[in-house]
Amino acid sequence: MTNKQLANTVLEYSRRGSNTTLPISSAPQELQDLWNRGNEEGISMIKVRKLKERYETIDGKSFRVHNYGKVSLNEILPKNLRTGFIEDEVRFNEKVKAGETNPTMTILRVPSNYESNPNFNRDIESSFKALNLNRSYDSSFFRRFLKRVV
């Protein structure tokens, strides 16, 4: 699917907007709330698919992607898990005023017909619950013990 075709099927938001994205301030309130929740959870990209469902967590070169149903939550990998190659490093040159926290959210992509999906909010809630379960599993005592032994 080309970018032009994709533009007709998805809404894509970024912090300030660009040639290819809309500013998050112009999004409906429920999407702004989703954006804020992503910031609170340390997520950098949220993508909601229209049809395909995935259930997996994958570590790439720069991101860990949590796929739960139609929702993907991308978080930046800790420095010790990245490859170290300059082309794999993640850089978001965000100018932040003194006293402000650096936002983590950069992209929110949802299907253009997300409002017609009666399960949209349920899917989002489920994905964040699964994310928190996954994070607590990774930091559990048993998991840390296994990492030391193996």
pLDDT tens, 57-77?
Answer: 888 877 889 999 899 999 887
Query: Is 94 or 111 the better-scoring residue by pLDDT?
Result: 111
- Say how far apart CA 127 and CA 9 lie, in whole Å: 22
Contact 46, 71 (CB under 8 A): yes
Query: pTM of the full predicted structure?
Result: 0.74
- Reading the block at residue 69, the tokens are 């149903």
- Say how far apart CA 107 and CA 132 lie, in whole Å: 20
Residue located via tokens 């340390």 = 42
The number of folded domains in the chain is 1
CA nearest neighbour of 134 among 65, 87, 49, 79? 65
pLDDT score at 73: 93
Its domain, for residue 55, covers: 3-149
